[in-house]
Amino acid sequence: MRELFDEVVGRSPLDPQESARQAMRVPLRKRFYKEAGTAAAEGGFHITLDGRPIRTPSGRLVVVPVAELAEAVAAEWQAQGESINPTTMPLTRFANSVVQSVVDRTGEVREDIAKYLQSDLLFYRAGHPEGLVAREAELWDPVLDWARDSLGAHFILSEGIMHVTQPDAAVQAARDALPTGAWALAAAHVVTTVTGSALLALALAHGVRDADQVWAAAHVDEDWNVAQWGADEEAVARRAARQIDYEAAIRILQGAGVAR
């Protein structure tokens, strides 16, 4: 059981793309249980396979704080066919990541997110063409305005890829606005790494932008290029893989009562 769960979640729990890639390299295991379900536990709910609660590779019991989320994780296990396909279980990977790698090190996770505030996607603007410049401003400026007006975080913008050092006060103000709960913080981490923007993750967590708006903002340059030159098949596949983890993070934020 532990070997299987290790394969399902991968060995890099804070990087959903890497855990998914690792899972794809492992031969599929046969389904060994009949029923997946949930059971009440201290602090939330267990995920059970034929009545036995699942554990992380290190042996920790997986406890999901909200019934709806626990049922969604159990549904991933129940939906498996004759073989267990880890790539179809993003919430399971997420649940394990939180229990295994976030609960006891929320400070480190917050710092990892905060690193993005030094070189956030939203700071680096195109100088041309005019249409792309306008589109970036349309999707990115409201988030920066909110950070300035509501969080007191005044960031500096740059044209092109020239690095600019952000004010410590701005970085700290935005860092202080990150979610405090382990599950919501882990979800914010996934959104940050998938989109390349801690500010977009913050805007989502605070309900300033919804999931579709954040996804569009994260891909404004990519979508512009696709409109001009067409889509690259490999890029489309990578984006679809990122979106699976993004949508899992959204479900966690919504289930934790953080995002609307």
- Regarding beta strands 158-159 and 124-125, do their DSSP bridges make them parallel or antiparallel, or are they unpaired? parallel
- pTM for the whole structure: 0.86
Segment 7-15 shows an average pLDDT of 47
How is residue 61 annotated by DSSP?
Answer: B
Place of tokens 């939330």: 44
Report whether the peptide linkage leading into residue 27 is cis, meaning its omega lies within 30 degrees of zero. Answer: no
Residue 25: pLDDT band (50, 70, 90) is: low
Q: Which residues contact 65 (CB under 8 A, 6 or more apart)?
A: 43, 44, 45, 183, 256
| Separation between Cα atoms, residue 122 and residue 160, nearest integer Å | 11
- The pLDDT of residue 11: 40
**pLDDT, mean over the chain:** 88
pLDDT at 162 (0 to 100): 84
Rounded Cα–Cα distance for residues 218 and 94 (Å): 21
Look at residue 12 in the predicted model and tell me its pLDDT: 39
Equal fold, 2-102 vs 106-255: no
DSSP-derived 3-state class of residue 101: helix
Quick check: helix, strand or coil at residue 130?
helix
242-251: buried (b, 16+ CB within 10 Å) or exposed (e) per residue?
bebbbebbbb
Res. 5 pLDDT band, cuts 50 70 90 = very low
Closest CA to 185 of 101, 242, 89: 101
Residue 63, C-beta contacts closer than 8 angstroms, at least 6 positions apart:
41, 42, 43, 44, 45, 46, 99
Inter-residue contact 182 to 106 (CB < 8 Å): yes
- Cα–Cα dist 139/113, whole Å: 21
Query: What are the tokens at 111?
Result: 């710092």
Per the structure block, which two tokens stand in for 241?
A: 């893989």
pLDDT digits (tens, 9 = 90+) for 230-259: 988 898 999 998 999 999 999 998 876 554
| % of the chain at pLDDT higher than 70 | 88
User: By percentage, how much of the chain surpasses pLDDT 90?
Assistant: 75
DSSP letter for 26, please: S
Residue 20 pLDDT more than 90? no
CATH 3.30.830.10 fits 2-102, yes or no: no
- Inter-residue contact 178 to 185 (CB < 8 Å): yes
What is the pLDDT at residue 210?
A: 96
- 105-161 pLDDT, tens digit per residue, is 999 999 999 999 999 999 999 999 999 999 999 999 999 999 999 999 999 999 988
Where exactly are the structural domains of the chain? Answer: 2-102, 106-255
User: What are 193-237's pLDDT values in tens digits?
Assistant: 999 999 999 999 999 999 999 999 999 999 999 999 998 889 899
Could you name the CATH architecture of 106-255? Orthogonal Bundle (1.10)
Per-residue tokens: 107 = 């400070």
Give the per-residue pLDDT at 193: 94
Given pLDDT bands bounded at 50, 70 and 90, which one contains residue 22?
low
Q: Residue 71: in which H helix or E strand, if any?
A: helix 67-78
Q: How confident is the model at residue 10 (pLDDT cuts 50, 70, 90)?
A: very low
- Residue-level pLDDT at 18: 57
